[in-house]
Structure 1
Amino acid sequence: MLSLTPPKPTATPFSPSPHRRHQRPSHLKPISSSSSSSSSRRPPSPPPPPPLGTAYQPFRPPPVPLPPQYRSLSPTEILSILRDRLGRWHDYAPLISSLSNQGFDPPSIEESTGLSGVEQNRLAVASRVRETLLPSLPPDLLSFFDSAGTADSLYALRLLNASQRVAAATRVAALNLDPKAAQDLARAIKDFPRRRGDYGWASFSADSPGDCLAFTYFRLSREVVDEAEKILALEKALESAETEEAKKRIAYELERTSAGGGGEDDELAAKMRVPVVRLKYGEVAEAASVALLPVCRATEGVRGVEEAPRRLQWEGDLGVVSAEKGWGRWVVLPGWAPVLGLGGESGVAVEFADDARGIPWGKRKEEGVLVVVDRKRKEVVDEDGFYLVGSGGEEGLGVERGKALVEKGVKEGLGSVVMVVRPPSEEDNQLADEDWD
């Protein structure tokens, strides 16, 4: 009998295959045993796609168009170019995204090329940043970023908007700045708008990268204690500033500091006899002596000031403090001379809220302050001094200059202001390390 064997079914392009995605691409030929010396150059197979419902997906930056000479390359050839760093960095950097789109993950790329996952990310992001600069940056400045190492400089500019990025890249290229200087510049530009209202801010221009960096040094000069460090910071600010107004403002501050002035909070504080200081993190723990003061809120009015304990006594070798009455709110300050001069008998700290209404030097500040008051010195005898007064009867408290009180015929306040304490700065001008890595 003649038997008929059914023909084997042939796979059509549309027939599903459960193992198809794990098969080797047709253009990659298997390496024979005779060529075992080159087996290490075989690219790893792309990992299978994650199962459905997986929340985490590796970050893949927006793709950058491949240069024409790289568009027909196989994965093996792409890995070879990356491994040998053939060409300029921004020419082969887009190949990383190309491999990612084909299913290669950072560890498999690192295994074949030696580029760590961090390096892959920096190159891919820097390449994208460079692409955004092409329409605006002149060719002579753009060529600065062809050299090795400049990818890190462009990576530092990634968080800036388009106009800020062009201005920053122009300064980096014109002054031949290294990646660390480029990162400092980018942070200063990013932080500058957040500092609106700070001392001297209006004299600097947000459109000038140099002014933004100069303002960072300008702020630093007001946060250090050593006079030599203040002058050094101001000199760096003057060197970085670009606008004439900023240069004049820095030169004025430098002249005042060199002459022994400066250190107050703003122009008004510079003329008054009340020190305005910013508390630093850890300063209380490191202080050789401390002062303990009762605290009342400005909204508690005259009654809050009057009811705060007046007599504090340190008892025993352990320094236990006892007060004449119970009180719920206290503050510990470093043993600054104006505070220790109160003797623990008449001092009180008045807390003004974030809007700082009612105090002359806080109208532009979006932060609370503590006003330290000596309740024994109520009589208005110093026209240049400042005094705590009731503002609107029992409804709140305020601070006024002695001269203004004399003109109003007021002869006595609630106490004389001896110091103003600002809270520690959160340093929100600097981005966290994880934002840059």
Structure 2
Amino acid sequence: MLFLNPPKPLSLFEAKFQPSPFLNPHPHLRLLKSCTLLPKPLFKPTTISASATSTGSSTPSNQVYQPFRPPPSPLPSQFRSLDTNGRLEILQNRLGLWFEYAPLIPSLSQEGFSPSSIEEATGISGVEQNRLVVAAQVRDSLVQSKIEPETLSFFDTGGAELLYEIRLLSAAQRAAAARYIVLNRLDPRGAQELARAMKDFPRRRGDERWDSFTYSLPGDCLSFMYYRQSREHRNPSEQRTSALERALEVVESEKAKAKILDELEGKSGREEGTDGEIGVGIRVPVVRMKIGEVAEATSVVVLPVCGATEGARAVEEAPGECRSEGESGGCVSGC
């Protein structure tokens, strides 16, 4: 007995491309029949795991949070165990040396104290608070530069004002200035002038006699400042002589000392007139014309410049000569 299987239903794609039984099927159609067309996924799904895996050993670079390590306390060891009231009492009674209790001021500021509140509790003004803190920092820099202990001990009592004046100098300059202060027993005013002269000396490069003074010697820097001040006065005059004498007192190098002595003895090499005024090297003011002012002129006249209070009379009385020079054939009037 024969049984016929029911025909398998054709899909839409197979029904459309079903070949005729009388024709040989095309090879590409056979390939299409074996392929299943599926929509291409837009993205590949990924699985995110929220569990953390432990590797057993971790390096500092892989750690997100580093353990906090507080900086070392700037306070001396004898003050670290004190509470706020104890620190205020140390400042109020000035217990110890100035550079020892000076770090207590910034420690109180970190706790919320203002300069005015510290002044009310201790009697130390805001200006003195700043001076103590800065001078203690300058002293620490001198300790790091390995300055002589005998030089450093000079500032133990009442040396805050002296060290404060040299705060703007470099580490090497501070050490040299501190030695000079100790050697010459300078007061705060003298330390201020010394620091100002050492800071200003490199900026005066190119001034007259600048190369005769030595930059590494604090006395030469101070002497050059007095030497420059002497040249601001008329020669001869008491002010000029006094400034040169002060420069001679503080100078250190022999070369600079010789130049100052030449100035005092009148051997500077400058020619002077009979009335005591300089006869060579007089600076004359020059007024430069703007472009276009002489564009339409047939001749150019250069006149001497006089002060506003002298008026036209000084110009008329000035001796001059008229000569033709240059391409424009102008008239030059000289006095």
TM bracket, shorter-chain basis? 0.5 to 0.7
2:80 is the counterpart of 1:79: no
Distance change (3 Å), C-alpha of 1:74 and 1:182: same
Which of 118, 142, 154 aligns to 2:152? It is 142
Deviation of residue 135 (structure 1)?
A: 2.8
Structure 1 partner of 2:126: 117
Structure 1 residues 252, 301: closer, same or farther in 2, change over 3 A?
farther
CA deviation after TM superposition for structure 1 residue 228, in Å? 1.1
Q: Partners of 2:221 and 2:301 in 1: how far apart?
A: 45
> Partner residue of 1:197?
206
- Are 2:315 and 1:344 equivalent residues in the alignment? yes
User: Comparing both chains, which one has the higher relative contact order based on Cα–Cα distances under 8 Å and sequence gaps of 6 or more?
Assistant: 1
Q: Percent identity over the alignment?
A: 46
CA offsets 1:71-123 (integer angstroms, 9 cap, x no match): 11111011111111111111111111111122211011000001111110010
Aligned counterparts, 1:27-426, within 5 A:
65-136=74-145, 137-148=147-158, 150-225=159-234, 227-256=237-266, 273-276=280-283, 296-297=287-288, 307=300, 332=307, 343-345=314-316, 376-377=320-321, 414-416=332-334
In the TM superposition, what whole-angstrom CA distance separates every residue of 1:330-378 from its partner, at most 9, and x where no partner exists? 873676xxx99x831276xxxxxxxxxxxxxxxxxxxxxxxxxx6x146
Q: Which runs of 5+ in 1 are unaligned?
A: 1-62, 264-268, 278-292, 312-329, 348-373, 380-388, 395-412, 419-437
- Residue segments in structure 2 that go unaligned for 5+ positions in a row: 1-71
Q: 1:67 and 1:130 mapped to 2: Cα distance?
A: 14
User: 3-state SS of the aligned residue for 1:345?
Assistant: helix
Change (3 A) 1:141 1:111: same
Letter in 2 for 1:189: M
| Alpha-carbon distance between aligned partners in 2 of 1:156 and 1:256, rounded to the nearest angstrom | 36
Range moving further from structure 2, 86-95 or 254-263: 254-263
Q: How far apart are the structure 1 equivalents of 2:82 and 2:207?
A: 55
- 1:275: Cα distance to partner? 2.6
- 3-state SS of 1:66 partner: coil
What value does the CA root-mean-square deviation take over the aligned residues? 3.8
Letter of the structure 2 residue corresponding to residue 219 of structure 1: R
1:210-232 Cα deviation digits (max 9, x unpaired): 11100110000011236111111
User: Which protein has the bigger strand share?
Assistant: 1
CA distance in 1, matches of 2:207, 2:292: 28
Matched to 1:236, the amino acid is R
CA, structure 1 residues 193+309, in 2 after alignment: closer, same or farther (shift >3 Å)? closer
The higher radius of gyration belongs to 2
Would the aligned equivalents of 1:213 and 1:237 in 2 still touch at CA under 8 Å?
A: yes
> Are the counterparts in 2 of residues 64 and 128 from structure 1 also a CA contact under 8 Å?
no
What residue number does 2:23 align with? none
Q: TM-score, normalised by structure 2?
A: 0.66
For residues 255-283 of structure 1, the C-alpha deviation after alignment (integer angstroms, 9 at most, x for no partner) is: 118999779xxxxx97x635348xxxxxx
